[in-house]
Structure 1
Amino acid sequence: MARTEPLRLHDLEPSTEEFRQAVIDGLSGQPKTLPCKFFYDAEGSRLFDAICELPEYYPTRTELGILSRNAPAMAAAIGPDARIVEFGSGAGVKIRLLLAALERPAAYVPVDICREHMMAAADGLAADFPDLRIAPVCADYTRPFALPSIPGADTGVTVGFFPGSTIGNFSPAEATAFLARARRLLGRGSMMLVGADVPKDAGVLEAAYDDAAGVTAAFNRNLLVRMQRELGAELDIELFRHEARWCPRNRRVEMHLVSLSRQEIRLGDRVFAFDRGESIHTENSYKYSVPEFRALAGRSGWLPAQTWTDAAGLFAVHLLRSG
């Protein structure tokens, strides 16, 4: 059956003023920081899709392999008529594997901060799954938002889908708070599928976040490009170098923009001074063993139900049930 109506967007995209305030707050602190959620404008989303194809970046292909092999078992655990809510939907590659395996999925709600990228992916899914109700939400999913009402899509379980190890971008306390908030949003009897990266050799981790082709460096520096274009910030992008660091004590990879000289960033009447070697901390990616992640999920009110991993134990996909 062909789809006859255009997709209706629920638009809660962060404003330019929110971006400006986040930059001011982040660069005013010590150490200086910028929120990684602002990576994802149209260009940042394109660059991230390119990162996922890189030979060094094992998480995407490893998780895709886990989903390809285990989607039938995941679908059996979820049951028929499910409503799927994907946090940070991106290009919509992984959700296709789950939707194809599910029995009569009732609805799909992609939630993403980048409107353009999300709508392109949603349109493609609408063409390939013409009977599926799709209700895109442009929003910052790290903040509270409401799910759209979808008539006829409330007979099965509601399932959160959070692949890609994006949960690792939160600190453990933030991850616990996010999962607790997601549990309340999804409601009683809900489930959640979460991808989580596993600790491994430092060389493998650092290469994954600092590839030889420089795509991750461009992705990181795109934050500075956005500041220039959208906020009118005065800065020299060439004086910042991308750096990825594995911090074993915190079990996380950190991404930084390191200043190559003494310099300033000007934003309106605000001036932010940098020493040579000083950095802007832009992203963390925490790594969790299977027991560690199950314990974290438990602290947020979820009950660990099942875990699927690859043969080498590089990555894990966890199925959680609301407690």
Structure 2
Amino acid sequence: MTVPDLDLDVYLTDADLAAALRADARAGLTAAPKWLPPKYFYDARGSALFEEITRLPEYYPTRAEREILADRAPLIARLTGAKVLVELGSGSSEKTRLLLDALRDHGTLGSFVPLDVSGAALRDALGSLRRDYPDLHLHGIVADFVNHLEVLPESGTRLVAFLGGTIGNFTPSERAPFLSALRDRLAPGEWLLLGADLVKDPAVLVPAYDDAAGVTAEFNRNVLHVLNRELNADFDPSAFAHVALWDPANEWIEMRLRAQRRMTVRVQDLALDVSFAEGEELRTEVSAKFRPERLDEELSAAGFAVRSRWTDRASRFSLTLASAS
């Protein structure tokens, strides 16, 4: 049997990532209030902690999305007839295998294009996928899906999967240009499958980001370990408390790190001293939750037509299938 070629295109190098971290850290740590982007959680330790989070009883999104995919992937394959499956922020592509299997069984799938910022994670995922899907052409792309959508290959009818509720990490002012840019990369009739967490009782939402075992707290503080290692900073992660709260006005969860005492942190590589008052908070993540009508409005404004939407049986999470108008 001939094994198809496995392509890997690199548009984002370690030097690019280091420069972005320096720029984001300087901007966020000198802002009022202070902030850091959530993408810096995910070094090797952070990724392992997040995998642990997805198995916690409080953290429902991964299980809910998997349930929908298990139920609906064959229908998605029939509706789209996609020849190329693209995944933005692919990680391990573990859940995506449900789509790969359905599209393969439907007889249309020719290639899979996972895109991720981590070259190491992408190579690991591609190696596993190559063993399990020997007849499938794999085309990995090391890139940032916010800044590199123009590199997506254009051959074949594409289904772009953006799963995990990652769309919630964008504020509304960030979502609109991202969705419009993604629409501009698709031909009319091509597809977007969007995973989004739904608005629900804060008694369910907040524990998903503040579990009893404290794993999410360690995940949150991991961003400080990243700054210590990559920028020669001297944060004491134990001096920061994990905070997760529901913002009802914006309908999102915020994760923050709260300074437990007054301190000044030196970020050596930026020649920057950062002062924290006792009780001062550093925002590390926004995770927006959605109502179906808002999703419809935002997708329509970006040039997508919603064709189907499914939820898990408890109506906690949604997958929306939309076509480029």
Q: Same fold (TM over 0.5)?
A: yes
Paired letter, 1:96: R
1:15 and 2:17 aligned: yes
Once the two structures are superposed, the pairs formed by residues 30-109 of structure 1 within 5 Å of their partners are 30-80=32-82, 82-102=83-103, 103-109=107-113
Paired letter, 2:246: W
1:112 corresponding residue in structure 2 = 116
1:270 and 2:297 aligned: no
Structure 1 stretches lacking a partner, 5+ long = none
Contact 1:261 1:277 in 2 (8 A): yes
Paired letter, 2:100: L
Once the two structures are superposed, the pairs formed by residues 171-320 of structure 1 within 5 Å of their partners are 171-268=171-268, 269-320=271-322
Work out the CA distance in 1 between the residues paired with 2:141 and 2:111.
13
Partner deviation per Cα, 1:63-89 (whole Å, 9 max, x = no partner) = 100000111111011115x21111111
Contact 2:239 2:260 in 1 (8 A): yes
Work out the CA distance in 2 between the residues paired with 1:230 and 1:3.
39
Paired letter, 2:65: E
Paired letter, 2:71: R
Partner deviation per Cα, 1:132-182 (whole Å, 9 max, x = no partner) = 111111122122343355xxx823x11110111110110122112111111
Deviation at 1:3, TM superposition (A): 3.0
Structure 1 stretches of 4+ moved >6 Å: none
Partner deviation per Cα, 1:281-314 (whole Å, 9 max, x = no partner) = 0111111111111111111111111101122211
Deviation at 1:2, TM superposition (A): 6.0
Paired letter, 1:237: P
TM-score (norm 1): 0.94
Contact 2:4 2:136 in 1 (8 A): no
2:137 corresponding residue in structure 1 = 133
Deviation at 1:113, TM superposition (A): 1.6
Structure 2 stretches lacking a partner, 5+ long = none
Q: Cα distance 1:123–1:277, how it changes in 2: closer, same or farther (>3 A)?
A: same
Work out the CA distance in 1 between the residues paired with 2:171 and 2:220.
19
Work out the CA distance in 2 between the residues paired with 1:93 and 1:131.
18
1:144 corresponding residue in structure 2 = 148
Contact 2:6 2:139 in 1 (8 A): no
Deviation at 1:228, TM superposition (A): 0.6
Paired letter, 1:33: W
TM-score (norm 2): 0.93
Paired letter, 1:178: F
1:124 corresponding residue in structure 2 = 128
Work out the CA distance in 2 between the residues paired with 1:17 and 1:160.
28
Contact 1:40 1:114 in 2 (8 A): no
CA-atom RMSD in angstroms: 1.6
Partner deviation per Cα, 1:79-135 (whole Å, 9 max, x = no partner) = 15x211111111211110001001331211111122222221221111111111111
Contact 2:73 2:102 in 1 (8 A): yes
Q: Cα distance 1:55–1:170, how it changes in 2: closer, same or farther (>3 A)?
A: same
